[in-house]
């Protein structure tokens, strides 16, 4: 038997320490939280992506009374970007959330498992890492690849 471990690499910084480009993308993600339709959870999530061609797109979570048919902000924006620009890789995704009191979360909110799988597929599809910016009022997490969110990923090479 052999024990192994995985080390996840990420940077913790303040919003002010980010580049202007990253700040702008996070502001777009924060802005997108206001288009959330979340009458059940009251947890508003926004996401923004920057594509390799410079386009920036936004998405937000959309809930439904049939809970499983709703969609997270991350998947909304990724699917929209891929539908509009199917041959253009996503460089960076920024994610922000407001809690049930309507305030932005103090700590970063990480994508759910389904979103991690979709984001991982985008990296695999374009064979390029996608940076991930996770916003919290107190600090921001910066990951250089979705692989740091989902180290044991399932993709076409697994089939």
pLDDT digits (tens, 9 = 90+) for 45-101: 999 999 999 999 999 999 999 888 899 999 999 999 999 999 999 999 999 999 999
DSSP conformation class of 109: P
Name the architecture of domain 11-158: 3-Layer(aba) Sandwich (3.40)
pTM given for the model: 0.94
Active site residue: 31, 74, 123, 138, which one? Answer: 74
Angle between helices 73-84 and 113-126 in degrees, nearest 10: 30
SS3 123: helix
Please confirm, yes or no, whether 74 is among the known catalytic residues.
yes
Is a pLDDT exceeding 90 seen at residue 157?
Answer: no
Q: What is the residue whose two structure tokens read 């799988």? A: 117
């Amino acid at each position: 038997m052999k024990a192994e471990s995985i080390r996840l690499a990420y940077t913790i910084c303040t919003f002010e320490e980010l580049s202007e480009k990253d700040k702008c993308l996070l502001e777009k993600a924060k802005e997108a939280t206001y288009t959330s339709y979340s009458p059940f959870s009251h947890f508003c999530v926004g996401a923004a992506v920057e594509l390799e061609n410079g386009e920036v797109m936004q998405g937000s979570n959309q809930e439904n009374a049939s809970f499983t048919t709703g969609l997270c902000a991350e998947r909304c924006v990724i699917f929209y970007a891929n539908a509009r620009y199917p041959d253009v890789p996503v460089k960076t995704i920024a994610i922000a959330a407001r809690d049930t009191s309507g305030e932005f979360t103090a700590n970063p909110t990480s994508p759910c498992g389904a979103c991690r799988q979709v984001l991982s597929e985008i990296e695999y599809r374009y064979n390029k890492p996608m940076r991930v910016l996770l916003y919290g009022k107190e600090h921001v997490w910066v990951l250089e690849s979705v692989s740091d969110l989902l180290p044991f990923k399932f993709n076409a090479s697994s089939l």
